Structure 1
């Protein structure tokens, strides 16, 4: 496979790769000690909440009504899964959870490149540095926040990508199990049902919904029919009110509706901002899907590698959409932009294309907005950074379309 020249190709300098590997390992070690500090505070961290909720379910108590430092705002399934960890010393359980999150992040990286046109063996044969680690190091704030707080986003993200990976292989039952599990852990992957609807994959829609419902109801094994009352309270307290007012009230925001709230406060208590936000996401996704259809038609469906490459870019756009519709905006949620960033970064450093300068410009602007968003919490920079990733994906698809010879198919 011929690889074009780029800034990362400097010959066979193994030491350069080890520097980046060493940096990544050092960062993980630092995050481990930081996580240990967070977990053993008086209030603990998010994993503390998950484990307390698991213990409450084990003893037939409703975690949604419990007074904890951090509110439990997920379906009962993740807490139910963590019940075995309640029998271990807290320190041991916390270490296992940290390791599981690191493994989930590795799975995310492997799956993004397994289903895109950026095979990882390129680095092993040509590049002196591990490109995926370089890309991840630029996302250190997201990784640090998730690991320190014992969050669950990397696990959910890995399940979403496992769903995509096996759906591409035609294994609808297995892929639906993974999507159902992701939905039962954190409801926001429901947006991926739209991905299936547009592909008329009704079998996977049915199976994913079925498995999601089964997983959500699994705690019935312990709590019985009381689970329905608990879920009614959960819907009223968190889901319905969260969609209207947001689960958290803080200055950080990712969504277009929150942006409108900031610039046009007169509309804050009206449904218009949320309708406009949903409309913006629909326009972005519809544009990407339309471009993907044009590319596949122009290629006469003959290039399977092209189809897989296009599909992973479209799928990553749906994951980005989670940030634009989420009822709350926290730094750890930004984990869902990692697949898009990995694809764009690898496209820049491993490929020569007509839009390379455009992608570089959009990537630089993305990083600037991304880091400014972390500095200025009440600013729209995170929202702008998400839009820049969408623009980069649109630029990539447009270049793909232009590169295919015109066959007269529109």
Structure 2
């Protein structure tokens, strides 16, 4: 029997519907899907999808059951519109759904279809005087390639979705306290504000100069993100990037930073300056993502900028995530001409091990070795050892966190080639860079004026 016939017969016999979503009850869904699966011809296949509404629990706990059920009803309507002609769906529990889709009825590859479906299910509503957004995640499994029954494939789709959490979180034993509810609410509202901030272009890239320690000449800048929150003012990255990492917002935020850097480099080229570099910080999760390299390739095609003008700063923990993938990614980016820098160098347990395996072009000595370099000979010797090693390996070295003339002078004496810090300038808006540049052209460092 065809899918529509199977569903029609079932509906005439039962007339059942989930009380919240109107979709098939779970048991009926399994029966219908298994019957449809058994009727598949040789070489035909179906897909089992385990889908979750990412912020559903927080919406229910923070906004209340009524608001959560309203969102579920919207999901039901959109799933019915999208799935009914090519398969079936059911509401499992809370924000979880199961989908059964027939490949022969799909007019496009399954991953393309799911991308469009999740976009259609990305919802927004209003509460707490701001937009509330909800996104989707899913796991997918192919029937009968990966399982003989619908139940088996659905469990494997669930495993696909939850595997990362199983790896990262084990044996948690946490006692509840009242601060947890408040923290959950704060994180939830901050996530919603971040999403709104991206939509309304509330972010800005500030720039901190990097200067040649011998000539004092500006040779590059580091791009540092700032969030112009409409109520809380300018927010530093430390106040929101950790949450962005955990919610997946680090990807669109990271792409925004990359595009801003390309755009600024192109603007400076139009003004006759095409030698400056911009360094940007990229999270390990974003750097290792499959979408990272293609996005950089698109930016190279879009902007009239040389790849070597963009320095991508990663931290040592990228190797902890996946050493082999990191090495391949660095090598691939170097073929385009991008420069790779290890940020906060010297803080990890295996910093020098990474130099052996990572084909990078630059290291940035962590500011903790610079802060007391005028009083602590050990810090000075560590910094000099790193600089000497980098010189042997033909790597560029940047010392960040330079705040005084004394620090600048010592770093010059031990051979640091590039310096960065408040001693030269705090991070500034791009409109102020040219003014600062003009003012400091003839300044010799160390300078009493600083």
TM over 0.5: no
More helix as a share of residues? 1
Structure 2 length-normalised TM: 0.22
Structure 1 length-normalised TM: 0.24
Between structure 1 and structure 2, the one with the greater Rg is 2
More relative contact order, 1 or 2 (CA 8 Å, 6+ apart): 1
